[in-house]
Structure 1
Amino acid sequence: MVDESTSFYSSLPVISSFSVAARPENHVPLPDGWVVGFADVVGSTNAIEQGRYKAVNMVGAGVISAITNAIERRPFPFVFGGDGASFAVDPNDADAASQALQAMAAHSKTEFNLELRVAMLPVSSIRAAGADVCVVRYEAGPDCVYAMFSGGGLGWFADQVKAGNHLLDSASNGAVPDLSGLSCRWGLAPAKHGIILSAMIAPRGSDPRFSALMEEIIALIATLENSGNPVTLNALVPGPAAQAIKLEAAAKTATGDWRWMAWIKSTLLYTLSYLAFQFRPKAGGRDMDVYMESMITNADFRKFDDALYLTLDCSPAFAEELDRRLETAAEFARYGTFIQRYALLTCFLLSNENIGRPLRGKTNSLAHIHFIDGASGGYTMASKAMKNRSWE
């Protein structure tokens, strides 16, 4: 007999329209037995101000990579938050996810010199506190399906964790996370239309006007070129070799490689990626152009996690228009925005075999996903701006 809890997420219908997927009325409550996880980098604002934005994003994406590999790459709902991540797993995967979180916390401190705060809590406990956790599966592209959340539960849990509750200890027995597939080889994507706007927009309570505001904002960003997606073919260039190799080597030490071997492998992979970018090979069923085009559709530049998260390539005039509209909704919506010149990509590949091979029709597929944030702090700085407005 199939465990209904285990098959719950993979059996949900896939929604390909972002505006439809972002509507809470289309989200389904998680089963009571499921467990929610949260992780974020402590002091991420200071780290970003020191220019360590790529390391912060690498650790945030590493949380998702570690969980994915720990549960043998079964589909599960998650959302990337820039300096961390939120997710949920079925009860059969809870122990493996917990161990991966604890190992990632230890690895983050050892290899990235960043303190990662990690926690897990059953959905039933969140509901007992008066919040809920609901989910929907959104198809960003033919080979990329990820989740969006509503119900207030993830936001409530994040606040609890930041207050010091429900924390897990980091691993102390030398355990390391499996970060296979995590990479940081691409450079910063410059704004094509003037700026990269990071925005977080959250409801105040359960005011019904918030849903209408979301519909309006989603319609507004749909007027932008490519809906404001900062990832374009012109923007995709390899990043500085030294930085990319250093970060990827730090991730590869988690696979058990000696440090020198991690550096050799990371250098080789960066070199191969650079050559593939330069010469765009088409051989063995692979096509680098196909892969790069799929990076555009597989970029999570917009998502919903108890709040609307946006990383948009837009004009200063558009940012001002959005800010004016949000100001008029301050009675029932909280928001924060941050402007920078570049977007940042952190990539997760399930397998290098997927590069250049379109995987049409696999609705459960996560061949590759590209986590997007602003390159000067993005969501972390937008969240800080939101908190600074909380007195209003």
Structure 2
Amino acid sequence: MASINDDFYENLAGFTDFHAFSQIGRYTPLPSDWLVVITDVVDSTRAIQDGRYKDINALGVASIVAVLNAAKPLNIPYIFGGDGATFCIPPSQQEPVACALKAARDMAAGQFGLALRVGMVPMQVLEASGHTVRVSKYRPYATYQQAMFAGSGIAYAEALVKDQSPNNPFLVPESELHTEGDFSGFECRWDEIASPHEEIITLLVQCLETEEASEQVVYQAISGHITQIYGNEGRHHPLRENRLALSLSPKNLSAEIKIRTAGQSGWQRWLYAFKLPFRVLLGRLFMGLRLKTRAGNWGRYKQMLVANTDYRKFDDVLRMVMSGTAAQRQQLRDVLGQLHQDGKIAFGLHAAPTALITCIISDYGNHHVHFLDGANGGYALAAQEMKNQKRRLAGKQTVA
């Protein structure tokens, strides 16, 4: 049954200037009857060390598409984190989303041999422990919007879901029943994208200040440093239209085949795999000829892809994928390192020569979203550095 709060996210006004992410007044408390949903690839760091970073990204996006399809037509807030995702859902969607999460977990195990941790935490549990979740909406264009989260509740929910205690009540329970997932819209057809400069960096920054006013000052200062070092969006955006190329590599296309055919017969899997290269060739042809079809304006598709890419976001952690030089990275690391030494922030920074992109396509016109990460482990490895910094700071405080 639908709740009176089902349209909470849809009705948020949002903001158009990304740098407003630090202004807590732009965020609205999540309704108390909602739930925070967490998905996470277990032991993703080891899988990345084994060269499976593309599979990790694919499973993170697959969990998003499964949940979004289950919640349709409701618009729910979510954020992609590289090796998983975070969602906020109303109670009316708890059952269908739980089924979608089970299907994503089964698909990860059956198709990739990887464990996908999935869990739900009621907002009342977070509030009872003194944590908040606030939501806003970054909407730079009429055809693109992206959820933003503030407050400590997201991190606490993740900790509860990842807790290793037996019979963790926040994990979506195992089921003997086979659950069908809807992964339609998932696409993974692009070659890795070379940096327009020297490298792609994946950056995570979390302010450790406890006062909201101080937190806003720190994030505004960091935004200023990034602009000063890397230039404006036009300079540091990691994508350029002329560097986007659809892939015909069987290895690159394998993740889409596995996800889109999960639970299907061998014949259906073979047929999808057989057709996919022809779809890629058609895409190349349509874009090259700049054709207009009922499906969309293919001459503008790459332009829309760049515009609809989630290369920067905020969920109480600033997350960015940027293009730049090694010298710029060192300059940024020096600035952030000083802030870390002062106890103001923890951060993680990972560099790679390329970025990878995974997509959710509602239609080829305007409604498609593209999830970006640095190659070779981007967000996941940057997160590991940030966690290590927080542990060291906690250790110093304990000794003191």
Per the normalisation by structure 1, the TM-score is 0.91
Q: Does 1:173 align with 2:202?
A: no
Amino acid aligned to 2:60: G
Q: Which of residues 192, 198, 208 is equivalent to 2:196?
A: 192
Q: 1:241 — aligned with what?
A: 249
Q: 1:152 — aligned with what?
A: 152
More displaced stretch, 143-152 vs 239-248: 239-248
Post-superposition offset of 1:33:
0.5
Q: List per-residue Cα deviations over 1:102-127 (Å, max 9, x = no partner).
A: 11111111012111001001111111
Q: 2:97 — aligned with what?
A: 97
Q: Does 1:348 align with 2:360?
A: yes
Is the Cα–Cα contact under 8 Å of residues 221 and 227 in structure 1 kept in the other structure?
no
Q: Secondary structure at the match of 1:312?
A: strand
Q: Distance in 2 between matches of 1:126 and 1:194?
A: 43
Is the Cα–Cα contact under 8 Å of residues 120 and 161 in structure 2 kept in the other structure?
no
Is the Cα–Cα contact under 8 Å of residues 245 and 270 in structure 1 kept in the other structure?
no
Residue 170 to residue 267, structure 1, CA distance change in 2 (3 Å): farther
Amino acid aligned to 1:106: D
Q: List per-residue Cα deviations over 1:127-178 (Å, max 9, x = no partner).
A: 1111111100111433111201011111111122222342123443221311
Q: 1:34 — aligned with what?
A: 34
Is the Cα–Cα contact under 8 Å of residues 139 and 145 in structure 1 kept in the other structure?
yes
Alignment coverage as a number of residue pairs:
380
Q: Does 1:295 align with 2:311?
A: no
Q: List per-residue Cα deviations over 1:197-249 (Å, max 9, x = no partner).
A: 11111122514433212112223434245252212102211134202331111
Task: Give matches, 1:266-285, under 5 Å.
Answer: 266-284=276-294
Residue 194 to residue 221, structure 1, CA distance change in 2 (3 Å): same
Is the Cα–Cα contact under 8 Å of residues 16 and 139 in structure 1 kept in the other structure?
yes
Q: Secondary structure at the match of 1:74?
A: coil
Amino acid aligned to 1:287: N
Residue 148 to residue 225, structure 1, CA distance change in 2 (3 Å): closer
Q: Distance in 1 between matches of 2:284 and 2:174?
A: 36
Per the normalisation by structure 2, the TM-score is 0.90
Q: Distance in 1 between matches of 2:295 and 2:250?
A: 31
Post-superposition offset of 1:50:
1.6
Amino acid aligned to 1:239: S
Post-superposition offset of 1:271:
3.0
Q: Distance in 2 between matches of 1:7 and 1:348?
A: 22
Q: Which of residues 272, 282, 286 is equivalent to 1:262?
A: 272
Amino acid aligned to 2:214: R
Q: 1:69 — aligned with what?
A: 69
* Identity across the alignment (%): 30
Q: Distance in 2 between matches of 1:8 and 1:340?
A: 38
Post-superposition offset of 1:278:
3.7
Q: Secondary structure at the match of 1:376?
A: helix
Is the Cα–Cα contact under 8 Å of residues 199 and 325 in structure 2 kept in the other structure?
yes
User: Which blocks of at least 5 consecutive residues in structure 2 are unaligned?
Assistant: 394-400
